[in-house]
Amino acid sequence: MASLTLHSNSVVSFAELVVDDIKVSQRDGCLSYDASQQRECLIKCPLDVIVADYNVLSLCCNHLSASAEKYCPRCHASSASFNVLSRQRTPEETRRTISRLHLRSKEVDKAKLRKETGVKEHINCLWDVLDPHRDIPVGMLHLLPLGLTKHLITFLVNLMDKTQLARMSCHLETVLPSKGPDFFRYIESRQGKDFKSYVAPFNLLFGGANAIAIRLVCCLAQVI
């Protein structure tokens, strides 16, 4: 498992180093010793999952993030189909769309295709070792309208005391330094997309929000 919480502009270069090491480990392994079996063993390092905030999740999936019409990095959900399970994204389809973007000569045409598909073209070495669409957990219910997301999070936050809010702000600041200090101070002025982009159940859990409500959100995510 890998965790990516760096700024987007440094994630790609950082991931290249990690992926290179993973490839070497998967190919050659590391000779070690198994004390319980009292024999030498070969250790390899498969990558099964990446834990990331929403912005880094989008970057790892070559996704445009919440501003796209198809705003989910995992499937083709849109504002018109938020209440049904949409067709899952696949690496092959995303790569085809990236190729289409590279064929566009005008920036206005590229921007239109990015907006329509939710796919953004950039170098991404993660496709070599896993399926980012499938292997990165989605931190927030993507099928909920953004306004409802705001009301759910606001309700949970209003139940928290100052100490809990301070802890949650510090935790959010480790993921997004520019958002942590003032995010909850001006919570009523936040838009739904802000919550979708920055706040995930594990942030709420760390801050000490109502555990039953957090479990409810997670259960709904699994059902939907």
Report how many domains make up the chain.
2
* Domain membership flag for residue 112: yes
Average pLDDT estimate for 147-157: 72
* Amino acid residing at 130: L
pLDDT at 95: 94
All residues at 6 or more sequence positions from 81 whose CB lies less than 8 Å from its CB, including other chains: none
How many angstroms separate the CA atoms of 12 and 16, rounded? 6
Domain identity same for 118 and 10:
yes
Q: Which domain holds residue 52?
A: 2-135
**Range of weakest confidence among 51-55, 100-104, 146-150:** 146-150
Residue 105 one-letter amino acid: S
Question: Residue 3's pLDDT is what?
Answer: 46
Q: Rounded CA gap, 217 and 201, in Å?
A: 8
Q: Tell whether 92 is covered by a domain.
A: yes
Segment 67-79, tens digit of pLDDT: 888 888 888 888 7
Whether the Cβ atoms of residue 187 and residue 157 lie closer than 8 Å to each other:
yes
In the listed set 108, 135, 162, which residue is the last one of a domain according to the structure? 135
Asked if pLDDT for residue 213 goes beyond 70, the answer is: yes
Residue type, position 90, single letter: T
* Among 183, 178, 186, CA closest to 207: 183
The model's confidence at residue 224, banded by pLDDT at 50, 70 and 90, is very low
Q: Which of 69, 101, 135 is the last residue of a domain?
A: 135
The dihedral sign for the CA sequence 179, 181, 182, 185: positive
The per-residue pLDDT for 107 is 94
- With residue 83 as reference, give the H or E element that holds it: none
| pLDDT tens digit sequence for 15-50 | 888 888 888 888 888 899 999 999 999 988 878 888
